[in-house]
Amino acid sequence: MNPGGVFGRIPNPYPGKLFIVEGIDGSGKSKQLGLLAQWLRSQGHLVIFSEWNSSPIVRETTKRGKKRQLLTPLTFSLIHATDFSDRVERDIVPALKAGAVVLADRYVYTAFARDVARGVDRQWVRSLYRFAVTPSLAVYYRVPLDVALYRILSGRPKLKWYEAGMDLGLHTDPSESYRLFQKRIQEEYERIVPEYGLAVMDATLPVEAQQRVLRDLIRPHLHDIVRDPRTVSPEPEWHP
């Protein structure tokens, strides 16, 4: 039964391009997206960044829910979908209509992986996000769990309650809970990759090598898109 359809059935109808990086914490995807943005701008493209939790009104509620531990798997999923929806309507769609290159650090796949790891129904969450624009390309940063965990946990961070998945009661120790939660999330990502045809990046490669691969993946999508008028070289002066 699939009355409402699921995310990903409607292709991006706009002139702009939407590129996504996805992966667990510590996969190095954010750094790669930053480097990609620099390169795209140097090529004269209009680049817009989009991140989770960017809608001011909804952010207040999300913060309150997290701080006071009011969120359940269901309301965690819905409040993030609310925020995401506002971000799509307010930031992503207008930029795509204007023909920009929109770079998103995490997209619907994060919700699919994280919410399902929390026990939310797989089909329900895919239907919930049906309104989202299908990206031109989404790249999954695949990294061994131990490598990612080492990158995050060696800094001895103060893990937040929901970040560590403490709401699931997997373990009383936040670091242990975080490990178990990230493992579940990673398993969900591995299911999403073939389902949605995400490109896979070997996130153990050196930074420069990953960036070369990423640019090669992006390049075929860059034909016929608007460039930033400020950076396009002027026409050669006409000397009669």
3 state SS of 113? helix
**Smallest distance from other proteins to CB 212, Å:** 38
**Smallest distance from other proteins to CB 176, Å:** 20
> Is beta strand 199-202 parallel, antiparallel or unpaired with respect to 17-22?
unpaired
Question: Which is nearest to 191 in space by CA: 125, 104, 135, 131?
Answer: 125
| Interface residue with other proteins, options 12, 30, 85, 211 (CB under 8 A) | 85
DSSP states of 53-87: S--HHHHHHHHHHHHTT---HHHHHHHHHHHHHHH
- Taking residue 199's Cβ as centre, other Cβ atoms within 10 Å add up to 15
# of chain residues touching other proteins (CB under 8 A): 38
| 74 touching other proteins, by CB under 8 A | yes
| 123 touching other proteins, by CB under 8 A | yes
| Interface residue with other proteins, options 17, 118, 179, 184 (CB under 8 A) | 118
| Tokens read off for 18 | 């939407």
| 10 touching other proteins, by CB under 8 A | no
**Which runs of E-coded beta strand occur in the chain?**
17-22, 47-51, 101-105, 137-142, 199-202
Distance from C-alpha of 192 to C-alpha of 120, rounded to nearest angstrom: 15
Distance from C-alpha of 36 to C-alpha of 33, rounded to nearest angstrom: 5
| Interface residue with other proteins, options 15, 38, 51, 64 (CB under 8 A) | 64
| Interface residue with other proteins, options 20, 21, 58, 148 (CB under 8 A) | 58
Select the span of 8-16, 118-126, 179-187, 215-223 touching other proteins (CB under 8 A).
118-126
Question: Of 66 and 215, which has the nearer Cβ to other proteins?
Answer: 66
| 120 touching other proteins, by CB under 8 A | yes
| 188 touching other proteins, by CB under 8 A | no
| Binding stretches for other proteins (CB under 8 A) | 3-5, 55-58, 60-61, 64-65, 70-75, 77-79, 81-83, 85-86, 88-90, 118-121, 123-124, 127-128, 130-131
